[in-house]
Structure 1
Amino acid sequence: MSEPVRLRQLEALNALSTSGSVTKAAEQLGVSQPAVSRLLSDLSRDFGFPLYQRRDGRIHLTQEANFLLPEIRRVLDSMAYITEAGRNLTQRKAGHLRIACLPGFATSHLPRVVSGFLENRPGVTLTIEPDRPERILEWIIGQQYDCGITDGFDEHPAIESQSVELRTVCVFPTGHRLAAKSTIGPEDLQNESIIHPRRDSDFSRALNDIFVSQGVTMQSVIEIRQFTGACELVRQGTGVAVVSELDATSYLDRGLDFRPFEPAVPHRLSILRPIHRQTSLLTLEFISAFAESLKPYHH
């Protein structure tokens, strides 16, 4: 074979096989009859054998051409699939997203965002992996995930981040005495058992500083990493907690109530992605959708 076979030549032979004439093959391909004749002639020369014969005014494919047709059609089907897949990727309707997140997000806010994101993207699939902030950081640095949702992130040369500050509220069981308050401060929690994040977290340190500045001792009963876990404990009557309004909202119809906490102690959330790998359009669109979903809770 002197020259590599061109896709258009294969399309011409396939069109000839289904239409039975060069004229109809040309119409099928949207080109002129001489153009199809030239494509077939070149393909016949490249293969080194004739592709068809004329008998009784009709076109008959040769035995060799008929032998090749199944493979040719597989190639054309594959090219059509690749073309459609590329179009879907361009329109962000296909692809796979790998998202690492805090455990609380995997069961609270993130499912709602993902559901809306996938609604018009039937070809998109996702992997959602919850873990602690340290592990999420490792995964994003190692480019194992497309984006990460975490807190307590400062900076890293291998990571690009987008951070937002979210309002925080004091959550308590429905019918609690704190429901009579319009806002809640440290002095209102003087005799309450308090459930709070780990003491080494930025949020927990900021919260404790406010209690100290107002001369109130925080009556710690449980230290827990995630706000959703704190909300569950409050729901069981174990104590009260200061958490992000984002997490508290999902518990409004589940036995909890909340009020704004003052002085404000915003919770900083960060969306991370690897800086040394080109971010896909699908990932950028998801990050945008997730950031948009946080706007109602901005501090």
Structure 2
Amino acid sequence: MDIQHRHIEVFRAVMTAGSVTAAAQLLHTSQPTLSRDLARLEQLLGYALFERERGRLKATARARALFEEVERSFQGLGRVIERAQALGRDEDAELTVLSLPALSHAVLPDALATLLASHPGARVDITPAEPPLLDAWMSEQRFDLGLAEQATPVPGVRIEPVLEADEVAVLPASHPLAARERLALADFAGQDFISLATEDPYRREIDARFDAARVARRLRVQTHSAVAVCELVRAGLGLAIVNPLTAQACAGDGLVVRPLGVSIPYRVSALMPLHRPAQPLAGALLQALRARG
């Protein structure tokens, strides 16, 4: 069967316009040419699409059924075209982000506000995860962008620096040390201290700094979450040292933030999948994150 696209186009025009004459005008062709194409389509199909009465065409039941199918196809093609045009304008684009929970809370909101203001049709899907799951999913190329702290090499992933700042102290506003503008490690001696989990790399670095300075703290509570650390401090359970992004997000309402007399660098890195098609919105979000830092 040698049915061509123009045969279907002619059929659709006749069904839509209601007559061969009107369809010819719609397609900017002559009535005899359109009539020949329509007759050829019926010949190829092996059945009549129209009943001809006194020069007028009346669609058969088969013609109406075929027209419904043609319209569904044309509507689907229209959606494809609209989607293709929208992608060129970054409309209705979706960015998938895998992030440490602390970064989802502390660094992403402002950067996302900037991104969505310049790309109002974009959508962002944020999935929180901790290592080693975060590293494994990025290695499997599941996400457009990953955000991590002090990222270690991950197979199939390029690591880019995003921002760097120093860790800070967080204290209850009512604590005597809150009157200090800056805290030294010695100020924590004998104080109740809220720690991150033992496997956290920043926990290990902080403990090493206090051990080297021979400053003993009372380590009574620990948690995996920097946000939880801040809330425990706010409740008066002790002092803590956390990343400056989470500290800034949680500050106020009984919680104060103070710089330290020593530098404990805090780094945020972007994980870019090497074998996944690049999503332009990932670069735009990284730019917003760096501008924030």
Q: TM-score normalised by the shorter chain: which range applies?
A: 0.7 to 0.9
| Pairing 1:93-242 to 2, within 5 Å after superposition | 93-94=91-92, 96-110=94-108, 113-114=111-112, 121=120, 124=123, 126=125, 128-167=126-165, 168-242=167-241
Partner of 1:10: 8
Q: Which amino acid aligns with 2:2?
A: S
**Residue 81 of structure 2: which of 60, 80, 83 is its match?**
83
DSSP 3-state at the match of 1:220: strand
What is the alpha-carbon distance in structure 2 between the residues aligned to residue 132 and residue 53 of structure 1? 70
Q: Which amino acid aligns with 2:260?
A: F
Q: Name which of structure 1's ranges 141-150 and 115-124 shifts more when overlaid on structure 2.
A: 115-124
Tell me by how many angstroms 1:17 deviates.
Answer: 1.4
Q: Name which of structure 1's ranges 131-140 and 266-275 shifts more when overlaid on structure 2.
A: 266-275
Q: Is it true that 1:33 corresponds to 2:32 in the alignment?
A: no
CA displacement, residues 122-154 of structure 1 (integer Å, 9 cap, x when unaligned) = 57463x432321111111222333433222421
Cα distance change on mapping 1:261 and 1:66 into 2, 3 Å: same
CA displacement, residues 216-247 of structure 1 (integer Å, 9 cap, x when unaligned) = 34543333322112111111111122222211
Q: Name which of structure 1's ranges 87-96 and 231-240 shifts more when overlaid on structure 2.
A: 87-96
Structure 2: runs of 5 or more not aligned: none
DSSP 3-state at the match of 1:133: coil
CA displacement, residues 57-100 of structure 1 (integer Å, 9 cap, x when unaligned) = 54433443223111111111111122223333343333554433
Check whether the contact 1:146–1:273 (CA below 8 A) recurs between aligned residues.
Answer: yes
Structure 1: runs of 5 or more not aligned: none
Cα RMSD (Å)? 3.3
CA displacement, residues 269-297 of structure 1 (integer Å, 9 cap, x when unaligned) = 22224322223x3xx41453255135333
Give the alignment's TM-score, normalised by structure 1. Answer: 0.79
Q: Is it true that 1:292 corresponds to 2:288 in the alignment?
A: yes
CA displacement, residues 18-51 of structure 1 (integer Å, 9 cap, x when unaligned) = 22244544565xx522498276466445434454
Paired residues, number? 289
Q: Name which of structure 1's ranges 180-189 and 215-224 shifts more when overlaid on structure 2.
A: 215-224
Partner of 1:270: 269
Tell me by how many angstroms 1:118 deviates.
Answer: 5.6
Check whether the contact 2:164–2:267 (CA below 8 A) recurs between aligned residues.
Answer: yes
Check whether the contact 2:110–2:292 (CA below 8 A) recurs between aligned residues.
Answer: no
Tell me by how many angstroms 1:198 deviates.
Answer: 3.2
Give the alignment's TM-score, normalised by structure 2. Answer: 0.80
Check whether the contact 2:135–2:154 (CA below 8 A) recurs between aligned residues.
Answer: no
Q: Is it true that 1:67 corresponds to 2:65 in the alignment?
A: yes
Q: Which amino acid aligns with 1:236?
A: A
DSSP 3-state at the match of 1:104: helix
Cα distance change on mapping 1:256 and 1:11 into 2, 3 Å: farther
What is the alpha-carbon distance in structure 1 between the residues aligned to residue 19 and residue 232 of structure 2? 77
What is the alpha-carbon distance in structure 2 between the residues aligned to residue 55 and residue 149 of structure 1? 71
